[in-house]
Amino acid sequence: MLLALAGMLAQAAPVERIYVSTDREVYLAGDAVWCSLSCLDGNGRFSDESAVSYVELVSQEGTACTAKIGLLGGRGAGSFRIPATAPTGTYRLIAYTAVNAAEEGTPWLAGSRLLTIFNSTSRARVADGVEIVPEARYEVLRPAPLAAEGALEISTRVRVPKGAPAVLNLHNGGENASISLSVFHEDDLLPADNSHTPGRFLQTRPSWYASLKRPVPVEHDGEVVTARLRGTILKGEEDLAFATLSAAGSPTDLYIGQSEGDDRLRFFTSNIYGDREIVCEVFQLDRKEGYIDFESPFLYPELGSLPKLRLSPSQRSDLTARKAALRAEKALRIDTLTTFMAHREDLLLSSVAPRRYHLDDYTRFPSFREIIVEIIPELHLRTEKGKPSLLLTYSDALRRQFDVTDDILVMMDGVVLTDLNLLLDFDAMLIEDIDLYDEPFLCGKTPFFGLVNVITKKNYVTALHFPANVRVLDFQGVAYPVAYNGAVPKGEGQDLRQLLYWHPLLQVDAASDYRIEFTAPGYAGRFKVVAEGFTEDGKPVYQTFTFDVE
């Protein structure tokens, strides 16, 4: 029995289930979707296992768009924009971790959310996904409100003047909880589903361990980026390949990977945030015939039939208003009014302060060789067996100085350059700064005694001509977690905001009161407040409130 149990645990992993909440349930194609994720373990508590989740917006026709959202202590937040070409229909927003993706069955369906999406600029519809409903029938389809869950209370004035400041009061009569809070315009565009609550999600939660179809690493620190090697791995390293992965823009997004005896490379990142260009170099890969393929972490599932979107002539005025609001959003620059939330920090160079040389402060020289000689005394250029190398005078913990050759990293715009000729042949007039890190540091398990990062004016590094064993590609990073506090810029046209306030990671302490301030929009209508989440001990929280702007 013990041997059998050991075999079962070898193919098992800790249970993780993700509950998805969003700022609204009904959108237009082109809208931004603001997400909040609650990742719970087998006991219903916030999980501290995975550090990243994967999000897909899926219709009956397949995946429309994807996103990555970081997890910190079981909570995550981010946003993505619905493609402007998305056809009218019902979509399911799913979220899962790497463990979920490898589980038996479809565990990510439990906490997923149905979203209703209208395309106001195209007649395109999800195949067999729309039902035409007469006006008289549509008017009686609005579902009854869901029952409250937990001990959170919401109150505000039931009538608020247009454009006036408003105050939302929260009272938490229960335990400490983490919730999302949304204030948005509730028009007559009906959602496809009205049964998504934390309490119902908890009823689907399994216990003990999850059964896996295939072994996968739990992404404790961040996304595990996987690449497959195509071509010949040069002998001499026990058929193992050694590689670097670096993201243009920052020297801290540097990772070192090694193959595991097969054709796969794995880079254990601490999450690369934002959409970036990344450069991967495999040193033992044949420089003429070898190349690198990166694997997608997304499932791209086939979900089958979804509830049909109900289309009615009575929706015309609401769709027209939504379309005008979407056009006005760009003028209001809502994206610039967000507040960045805490996220997982990369600590690669956190203890090493750079010494910066801003080249515009010096006489300009046309070559990197001259810059080294005339401006930067810590750097020395040497040639050994016809190959150039850089030496950096660095200091140890006792501030003693040493010269080193092989144990420093040379980078351009945060990208590792193993061929120094790429830098020596570069137009030095395009270099803006040179940062020197002259203390030892660790990248994974590999020690380095210094780092030189050459910063160009417009991230020119990705335009260099790399050999075939180097792959440069656009990389979808983890979305930055952000909140929107409802601030409105002055003098930017009519305020037609549909979303008035959004906080994806609001912590509410037990027996506490909170005051949330926001600004009413410049039009009249009915508005809804939705708070949903979980207490620290795994109990559901769900509460709504409705008020009018006049």
Residues 110-149 have pLDDT tens digits of 999 999 999 999 999 999 999 999 988 888 888 888 899 9
Average pLDDT over residues 380-388: 87
**pLDDT recorded at residue 8:** 43
**pLDDT, tens digit (0-9, with 9 covering 90-100), for 63-97:** 999 999 999 999 999 999 999 999 999 999 999 99
| pLDDT at position 468 | 74
pLDDT at 43: 87
474-511 tens-digit pLDDT: 999 999 999 988 777 666 678 899 999 999 999 999 99
Comparing 137-141, 260-264, 466-470, which segment has the lowest mean pLDDT? 260-264
> Residue 462 in 3-state DSSP?
helix
Q: Which two tokens stand for residue 461?
A: 């590094």
Comparing 10-19, 153-162, 321-330, 367-376, which segment has the lowest mean pLDDT? 10-19
Residue 430's SS3 state is helix
Say if residue 525 is exposed, middle or buried (CB neighbours under 10 Å; 0-12, 13-18, 19+).
middle
In this prediction, residues 450-454 reach a mean pLDDT of 92
CATH architecture of 355-463: Beta Complex (2.170)
Q: What pLDDT is recorded for position 10?
A: 44
How many CB atoms sit inside 10 A of residue 162's CB?
A: 13
pLDDT in tens, 223-237: 999 988 877 666 554
303 vs 330, more confident = 303
Q: Flag whether pLDDT at 401 surpasses 70.
A: no
Query: Would the pLDDT of 335 be above 80?
Result: no
Q: Report CA dihedral (60, 64, 70, 76) to the nearest 10 degrees.
A: -60
Q: Quick check: 160 pLDDT over 70?
A: yes
Instruction: State the pLDDT confidence band at 350, using cuts at 50, 70 and 90.
Output: confident
Going from N- to C-terminal start, the domains of the chain cover 2-212+299-343+480-549, 355-463
What integer is the mean pLDDT of 168-194?
94
Look at residues 114, 112, 141, 137 and name the one whose alpha carbon lies nearest to residue 126. 114
439 vs 76, more confident: 76
H/E stretch holding 153: strand 152-155
Q: Regarding predicted confidence, which is higher, 209 or 423? A: 423
Residue 408 reports pLDDT greater than 50: yes
Q: Are 415 and 456 in contact (CB under 8 A)?
A: no
Q: Which of 412-421, 439-448, 517-526 has the lowest mean pLDDT?
A: 439-448
- What are the φ and ψ backbone dihedral angles of 190, each rounded to 5 degrees? -80, 140
Q: Which amino acid appears at position 152 of this protein?
A: L
HEC states along 437-448? ECCCEEECCEEE
Reply yes or no on whether the pLDDT at 49 is more than 70.
yes
Distance CA(88)–CA(5), nearest Å, equals 49
Determine whether 10 is exposed, middle or buried from the number of CB atoms within 10 Å of its CB (0-12, 13-18, 19+): exposed
Residue 318 burial (C-beta neighbours within 10 Å; 0-12, 13-18, 19+) = middle
Confidence tier at 542 by pLDDT (50, 70, 90): very high
**pLDDT tier, 5 (very low <50, low <70, confident <90, very high otherwise):** very low
Cα–Cα distance for residue pair 338/481, rounded to 1 Å: 10
